[in-house]
Structure 1
Amino acid sequence: MKAPSVSETPSIAPRWLQPLLMLAPGSLWLLLLLIVPTLIIFQLSLVPNIKPGDVVIPSGLDNYWRIFQPETFSIIRRSFLLASGTTLGCLVLGFPVAYWIALSSPKRWRNLLLLGFTLPLWTSSLLRSYAWASILRRTGVLNSILTSIGLPALDLLYQPIAVLIGMIYSLLPYMVLILYASLEKLDRQLLEAAADLGATPFQAFWRVTVPQCLPGIAAGSLLVFITGLGDFVNPELLGGTASRTAARSIYDQFLGATQNWGFGSALSMILILVVSLAIALLIKYGDRNAKSI
């Protein structure tokens, strides 16, 4: 007697329910670890900060209104500027490196080169920040080299430039890996066709290579921007009070002396909305660019 095939085996669940059952584990995981915590944060953001002696309980929307006050708004603006500067720096430094590894380096060395760029990720971000602090401080390695060759010492530590250096160093491997994956799939026949048609190397790069890598550029920039926006260690250790960011403000509201969970949740919701909007734009326009190439 012929045994029934897998496709002929009767299923307990109806056909329309089978896809839902397959999606159930991932959906449950997403619900418990993303949607429910976000809803809890949103609920906390509407809780007013009640102080002793308050006669009228203020509305929870005051937490969001406080974000637009000059002091808080400057902190958020600084966070966005640092994240944007880090993204631009990683893109400018990472694209040539990824281009060389993907298109110019010997194939037998590519995996080793990629491993070299990912090695810093194997160490703690705290150790990396302390290492940069020892390099950039007034009596650090960098100033020792500068003074030994007759140049003046630089006051970099506890300045925004030190935060940018630490954040770019920490997030550069992510940009390189994503750009490498995009450049590795580059259609080199289009580059040869552009050269045959008289295009200069710069024209071929700008009009052939860059358009094909736009999805990778967008994905790498988004990853670096989101991670930089929520970075806590580098601004805290390399920037000090002069480079206070939204991540530090949220920490102070929850675990610091302020203990204002409503305002901290409102700050968190603003960051969540910005990140969600960026991801939505990438999904909508990045996928369209990928299909048009």
Structure 2
Amino acid sequence: MTVSLGFAGWFQCRLATDPDPADEPRGVSGYVHALPGEPDLDRVVRFQPEGTVPRRFCPPIGVTVHSVRLDGRPQADHPLLGAAVDLLGTPVFEGRNGIVADDGFEPIVPFHLQISADEFRLRRAHRDREEFPFDDLKPTGVQPGLTDVVDATGIADLADVWRHRKDQVDEALTHTTDETARTALAERSALLANTRLAAIFPFRMLYSIALTGSGECHDPRALLPGPVTLNRPWLADFWLGGWDADALSGFVKGTLQVVPASTARVAEAEPFAPPPTAPRAPRRP
């Protein structure tokens, strides 16, 4: 039996863009800037609100489980629907301005995925120690996928969203007296006017990562059909796309597949190939 946990939601990553160096803390020459009143850019990929820097009129950050399947069969009203999906260990896009990977092909380092809800916790690392140049963590490619992104986000044209958001930002600007807030809103208004930056919205970075490191399954209420095994890899298949350069956020959608320990033992006991047949007597001339 295979347990498939589908997840989706908005994530945030505040990182400088070319031609700024990857560790530029404020943003100088690229289109990303830490606005007045905001903390420095830190490149961390965040799936949950903690540590994010929300901007007004932008979608809320939060990645959750949206489907549970057992051997491909959907489980309606499963208790894990809505569980939080997170990346542990302050992961970053490790591209380093093309030194490690080109734009759009950056590995997420480290990669340690966790799903949690109340007392339930399921987590596992790709490896306990990641090794340069992180080839196993790089996406398999970058592809346009407007249909998939629209279905996931409900947004068919980010430029239209930005035009509406710019109206909201400009309205807030007329009523804001704090000088720091006014400067930040004015900078956002200028960026939102440049709708060419919305053109990357349909593109997706495709990842397929086998999790073979340490992990745990704490399941006191038996939400899964038995304990899961750490003797076989878990598989995380997902894409990152729907990039919103104003919100500094994008959308993630994917699946984590795990195997219950009882199923793994059965699979190990049953060979993939049929047993050899008895040798035939040699044919007489």
Considering fraction of residues, name the structure with more helix: 1
Rg bigger for which structure?
1
Considering fraction of residues, name the structure with more strand: 2
Q: Which has the higher contact order (CA 8 A, sep 6+)?
A: 1
Same fold by TM (over 0.5)?
no
What TM-score do the two structures reach when normalised by structure 2? 0.22
What TM-score do the two structures reach when normalised by structure 1? 0.21
